[in-house]
A and B are shown apart, each in its own frame.
Chain A
Amino acid sequence: MNPGGKGGGSADLVLVQRVKQGDRAAFDLLVAKYQHKILNLIMRYVKDPSEAMDVAQEAFLKAYRAVPAFRGDSAFYTWLYRIAINTAKNHLVAARRRPMSLEIELSDSEGFEPFAALRDIDSPESLALTDEIGEVINEAVEGLPDELRTAILLREIEGMSYEEIAEAMDCPVGTVRSRIFRAREAIDKKLKPLM
């Protein structure tokens, strides 16, 4: 999301337009773009990572169903953000109504894995991989040449547009574009073996 950028949200609008025309792959790109932000947002309400993933999935599903009605009055992310917040709140309300006790017959309890989904997401291997990815990315950023590191930090952390970064770094916009790309490529080279 970069409202100050050259596209002014055009990337999202192009993808949304394609989703409206029945292009599911375009929706996948939107999901890939916002899933981390949305998951992060939902985890402020739902602490359990497995539940948060389910709520995120539900929020995206609601968004997919509602895309035909999206008029573009607000940015796509603002609209998606509202859907995610409402879905998370509804989830909490529904969770409070749910009875807490799990009535499981003794005979049924053998082989019963109530937290199977949680195990998939929060397994030690999975958590270790998350940590490793985080470390690799941080180390890769630290190891970047100054001009590349500054460019990618201004973009990813500060959310500045290429034009704003060009002004801050006193260089042409084309150079900013190239520096950010080269920074990503350098980090990706370290990340790719883990994925």
Chain B
Amino acid sequence: MSDQFNEQISQFIDDEMSVDESEFFVRRLQRDVEARRRYLRYQLIGAAMRGEHFHPGATELGLRLGQAIDRDESAARSRSATRLATGVGIAASVAVVALFGFRFADLGSDSLAADPAAASDFSDAPAAASNLADAPSYVMPSAAAEIQPLVRVGGEATGIQYLIHHARYSSGLSRTIMQSSVVAGQESDPTESTEEEVVE
């Protein structure tokens, strides 16, 4: 370590270097352990001369602080990882809930989309039943003749009656959903249903 570099340490401590000089100097100082020790001793000399409370233990403050920063950063990384894992967990849960929600909604809409207006035409019932027969989860009657006519109220079948009637041919799950929908009053608005939706 040259005297010129040691003089630069002194100059840097006194803040008598330009920014560019300081940049260059700091890079070099960080690579040189002995220079850093000298830097510490020069600081200690100043503190002692000014009558500041100095303590040889104070030079350990840097070491203690380094350990504290390590612990702090490690804890921050751990918190960050936990937050990430929690975020991923929540996202996955939402995705699962959404997926099942859509599936239940699909099942429900298949069952609840019946249009009473269409149901009023009894001649279409066997055709609708044969369409439903394509779905393996449904238990269909052995013959179209077993299908009972809907109860008519004032000449028109209500949505609820249709659903109750339809439930006889539904799977257990669909039946439960339909009955729940009826009880909860979630029957689809018949005025908004179209005949195409019923066929589909």
Query: Residues 25-66 of chain B: 1 if any A CB is under 8 Å from the residue's CB, otherwise 0?
Result: 010011000001111111111111110111111110110111
Nearest-CB residue, chain B, relative to A9 = B15
A85 interface contact, C-beta 8 A: no
Query: Residues 137-166 of chain B: 1 if any A CB is under 8 Å from the residue's CB, otherwise 0?
Result: 000000000000000000000000000000
A37 touches B15 (CB 8 A): no
Please give the distance in Å from A142's CB to the nearest CB on chain B. 11
Number of interface residues of A (CB under 8 A): 67
Nearest-CB residue, chain A, relative to B48 = A137
Query: Residues 161-195 of chain A: 1 if any B CB is under 8 Å from the residue's CB, otherwise 0?
Result: 11000000000000001101100110110011001
A10 touches B56 (CB 8 A): no
Nearest-CB residue, chain A, relative to B23 = A14
A61 touches B45 (CB 8 A): no
Interface stretch among A52-60, A86-94, A102-110?
A52-60
A80 interface contact, C-beta 8 A: no
B55 touches A121 (CB 8 A): yes
Residues from chain B with a CB closer than 8 A to the CB of A178 are 7
Name the one of B11, B41, B58, B62 contacting A28, with C-beta atoms under 8 angstroms.
B62
Name the one of B11, B23, B30, B48 contacting A25, with C-beta atoms under 8 angstroms.
B30
Interface positions, chain A 131-153, Cβ under 8 Å from B, are: 133-134, 137-138, 141, 152-153
Q: Is the interface of A mostly helix, strand, loop or mixed?
A: helix
B22 touches A2 (CB 8 A): no
Name the one of B14, B23, B37, B49 contacting A2, with C-beta atoms under 8 angstroms.
B14
B72 interface contact, C-beta 8 A: yes
B54 touches A36 (CB 8 A): yes
Residues from chain B with a CB closer than 8 A to the CB of A56 are 61
Residues from chain A with a CB closer than 8 A to the CB of B49 are 137-138, 141, 152-153, 156-157
Nearest-CB residue, chain A, relative to B31 = A25
A65 interface contact, C-beta 8 A: yes
B41 touches A188 (CB 8 A): yes
B14 touches A162 (CB 8 A): yes
Please give the distance in Å from A59's CB to the nearest CB on chain B. 10
Which of A27, A31, A130 is the most central at the interface, judged by chain B CB atoms within 10 Å of its CB?
A: A31
Which of B14, B30, B48 is the most central at the interface, judged by chain A CB atoms within 10 Å of its CB?
A: B14
Please give the distance in Å from B88's CB to the nearest CB on chain A. 27
Query: Residues 63-103 of chain B: 1 if any A CB is under 8 Å from the residue's CB, otherwise 0?
Result: 01110110010000000000000000000000000000000
A64 interface contact, C-beta 8 A: yes
B15 touches A2 (CB 8 A): yes
Interface positions, chain A 61-107, Cβ under 8 Å from B, are: 61, 64-65
A33 touches B55 (CB 8 A): no
B18 interface contact, C-beta 8 A: yes
Nearest-CB residue, chain B, relative to A129 = B56
B6 interface contact, C-beta 8 A: yes
